[in-house]
Chains A and B, each alone.
Chain A
Amino acid sequence: KAGVTQTPRYLIKTRGQQVTLSCSPISGHRSVSWYQQTPGQGLQFLFEYFSETQRNKGNFPGRFSGRQFSNSRSEMNVSTLELGDSALYLCASSSSGLPNTGELFFGEGSRLTVL
């Protein structure tokens, strides 16, 4: 069973540009969550999508957005990039069944560097 796939793995952008990251969840998983990892801050929750609907959202500015497609693939977009957006962006998928134990399956992440 293929795992969570994130593309691109590495990218470099300059301030003011925008970026789009892609995530393909494990087959059959309908929930996709996005996290930002920076040194000393752990994994900060960005948002979670289920069946093309955003169910949860973290405390990030509106420059961070996302969406999910009917095949459960998800994208996140960051506009007007700032130096502080440099981070590892992790996507995680989970099954939709309840009770939800919170077990997430992560991709390897997309490493964004903003210059």
Chain B
Amino acid sequence: DQQVKQNSPSLSVQEGRISILNCDYTNSMFDYFLWYKKYPAEGPTFLISISSIKDKNEDGRFTVFLNKSAKHLSLHIVPSQPGDSAVYFCAARGSGGYQKVTFGTGTKLQVIP
């Protein structure tokens, strides 16, 4: 049962344009959402997060949007740079004390110079 879904395995974007990565979830008990970036031969690194009480969080070129009614979140990267080329994982954590972090299957972003 894939509770966090990233339906686009890959995405190609021109340098300088906007990259939009999407993520859907099914568990309404998730209350914290995160994005991780992973380069080959490295572990994932934390990028940005959002609490379920917010609908937007911004950090430099990265913005995450959360639509709770649609159980959908997206990561916007503006402007996209070649160094952003990586696999991006959406993740979610349940509410109440400590809950495990559930990851999506990832989207491979390629930014073309």
Contact = CB atoms under 8 A, between A and B. Distances in A.
Interface of A: 4, 31, 33, 35, 40-45, 48, 50, 55-56, 58, 90, 92, 98, 100-109
A55 B6 CA distance: 27
Given A50-B98, A90-B43, A101-B49, 6 more contacts: A33-B100, A42-B89, A42-B106, A45-B100, A101-B32, A101-B51
A105 B41 contact: no
Nearest to A102: B93
B44 A45 contact: no
Interface string B93-105: 1000111111111
Given A33-B100, A50-B98, A58-B100, A43 B89 contact: yes
A108 B46 contact: no
Contacts of B100: 33, 45, 48, 56, 58
B45 interface: yes
Interface size class of B (residues with CB under 8 A): 20 to 34
B98 A43 contact: no
A55 B94 CA distance: 14
- Among B4, B51, B103, max chain A CB count under 10 A is at B103
Contacts of B102: 45
Contact of A108 (B36, B43, B49, B51): B43
Contacts of A98: 97-98
Given A35-B103, A42-B105, A42-B106, A104 B46 contact: yes
16 contacts: A4-B43, A33-B100, A41-B105, A42-B6, A42-B103, A45-B101, A45-B103, A56-B98, A90-B43, A100-B98, A101-B32, A102-B32, A102-B99, A105-B46, A106-B44, A107-B43
Nearest to B45: A106
A104 B36 CA distance: 9
